[in-house]
Chains A and B, each alone.
Chain A
Amino acid sequence: MLDADVEVDRREFTVAVALRVAPGERLALFGPSGAGKTTVLEVIAGLVPPRRGHVMLGGRVLTQTSAPRRAVPPWQRRVGMLRQDPGLFPHLTVRQNLEYGAGPRPEPAGTERLAADLGIGGLLAARPAGLSGGQAHRVALGRLLLARCEALLLDEPYTGLDAGLRRVLTDFVRSLAADRGIPVVLVAHELAEAQAFADRLAVLDRGRVLQDGAADTVVRRPASRRVAELVGYRGFVPYPAGGAGAVAGVHPDRVSPGAQGGRGLVLSGQVRASHPAGAGWEAGLAVGPDLVWCRLPEAPGTEATVTVLDPPCFGADGVLLPRSTQVSA
């Protein structure tokens, strides 16, 4: 179990985050750039001291600011960290890189087996300068595994890699976390990446966790309007049944063409803008003064009627309304 409850002062705001990740569980810290996600990882890794709080891993106290104070240095934490830059040692071969943290006498057969699992078996004698981006990431990952780390921190590691490679590496880390039963924390600013990887999503904004829950719950039932904006809701329409100032959130992916009373909120309006998006179309619908974006299977005409499926509704204070006052399904 990785258990962290820390506060770190940054220039514009204080990062105050509490998170618990069970062995084998994968948590994604999701939020906009500059929300303090990386800071949280650096505190867990021991690279940044917190102003207040504690970090525990598998029963070991790594950081504690209350008495008895403790600050285990990074080299004794057994916490692996993978960043966007794989950070391989350029003066060492792939084999030497893999075995860097494996202790004084690494078992050659173990290294070769892992390299084969990672698909870099033929590269053990190569130097990092000759590797592709994907190969370098596999070496960096293998290096953490041979170092027998007890928690894995991934700081947007796959930014800049192509989608296929991303999927392969994500699957590999998923199976690995499950096999070894180690907690994994992924930092991501892209929702798709976070969802592809994690069981659980913690939405971070300006240093605070706004919501923490199962990945689909967070997207379908954002706890607040701000969370909804962060996870991709691109329009809010008045919802009088929820009280004065209440709004319903429209996620472009949760929209079905045509009026389907009973499945959600039916909206009609002029199409102000549209362009192809993926295999379908994205259209901006003028509803009242606002433009509401939705994704449709076909190109829309000048007017369109759509049904927003089971939209989350927020009160005037921006907080999710209770289930009973939501749009009746």
Chain B
Amino acid sequence: MSWAVRPAPEPGPASGAALAPGLRSASSALSLVAAAVIWIALLGPVIALFFHITPAAVSSALRTPGALTPLVVSLQSGLITLAVLACFGTPLAWMMARGRLPAPRIWEAGVLAALLLPPLVVGLLLIFMVGPLTPIGQVLGHFNLSATNTFFALVIAEVYESAPYYVLGAQAAFAAVDPRMEQQAALLGDRPSRAVRRVTLPLAAPGLAMAMAVAWARAMGAFGAVIIIAYHPYGLPLQIWTTLQETGLASALPFALVLLVVALPLPIAAYLWSARARRRRGG
């Protein structure tokens, strides 16, 4: 670890003065080791995936009939989930950030509860809320809709698993916009809706993009609630699960790779874009 240790300080006359920098470089080396350990541990599985998969296995897995259907289902449900979050989650996040809601703690607690409940439990509870025997289920039944084991159910489950991440991220993004900016826009002649469009949204955009990217990754990987209320149609996570159950690890791995390839580019692009936008604005 010598590369982590700073150049030895000049030997000083007092031994106490020389000891402190030595301790400091030892502790900085230790924290570097700790950081490297956690970083490798976090990324290790992804690295392992590339060691255990061959291009031939991927192409043969994807060429089996119907193999691409889960991918399409995941993409479609994920995009609809994002649209729902953008339409309903953004105003909620904005009002939470600006303190426009009565009893703000209660609203926040609701979002946090959705974040803290295990997804599997959410799935079970959703049966009680939108299952075929519930009032909501019966209303849906009148329109020939069902919120269990349908594409609609898949979207509901994905919304539940990703919404708290989006709302909390978007709230932080809006809270970081100085309200005086909106005030200034108003004094320059912008009605509130126009000020939101010209000032608030562009300023919050980097944070919103990050929140959106995290929500996308959660929606793509949604599994706990999905397996309870939307076992069919298969999205990618359930495809991986059933393939693993039926034919084993080797045949499930190509789908895991596909899931990563689908889930990750958006977050990475959002990260790069928001980092660039922040740099241009000088922090």
Contacts and interface: CB of A to CB of B under 8 A. Distances in A.
Contacts of B180: 83, 85, 87
B187 A90 contact: no
A83 B183 CA distance: 12
Contacts of A76: 189
Interface string B249-283: 00000000000000000000000000001001111
B229 to A, nearest CB: 42
A101 interface: yes
Interface in B28-62: none
Contacts of B203: 89-91
A127 B282 contact: yes
Interface string B175-199: 0001011011111111110010011
Contacts of B280: 127, 129
Nearest to A81: B187
Contacts of B190: 75, 101
B202 interface: yes
B183 A129 contact: no
B187 A45 contact: yes
A75 B187 contact: yes
B187 A80 contact: yes
B186 A91 contact: no
Interface string A79-100: 1110101010111000000001
A130 B187 contact: no
Nearest to B279: A129
A80 B189 CA distance: 10
Interface residues of A, number: 26
A130 B202 CA distance: 19
A226 to B, nearest CB: 33
Contacts of B183: 47, 74
Contact of B281 (A75, A81, A129): A129
Given A73-B191, A85-B180, A91-B202, A127 B281 contact: yes
Interface string B211-254: 00000000000000000000000000000000000000000000
Given A127-B281, A129-B280, A129-B282, A89 B181 contact: yes
Nearest to B283: A129
B82 to A, nearest CB: 23
A101 B188 contact: yes
Nearest to B202: A91
Interface in A34-56: 45, 47
A77 B191 CA distance: 11
A230 B185 CA distance: 35
A189 interface: no
Nearest to B206: A91
Contacts of A130: 282
Contacts of B188: 75, 80, 100-101, 143-144, 147
A78 interface: yes
A75 B282 contact: no
Given A87-B181, A90-B203, A147 B191 contact: no
Contacts of A80: 187-188
Contacts of A87: 178, 180-181, 184
Nearest to B199: A89
28 contacts: A47-B183, A74-B183, A74-B186, A74-B187, A75-B186, A75-B188, A75-B189, A75-B190, A75-B192, A75-B195, A78-B189, A80-B187, A80-B188, A81-B184, A85-B180, A87-B184, A89-B199, A90-B203, A90-B281, A90-B282, A100-B188, A100-B198, A101-B190, A127-B280, A128-B281, A129-B280, A143-B188, A147-B189
Interface of B: 178, 180-181, 183-192, 195, 198-199, 202-203, 277, 280-283
The 3 closest A-B pairs by CB, nearest first: A129-B282, A101-B188, A90-B281
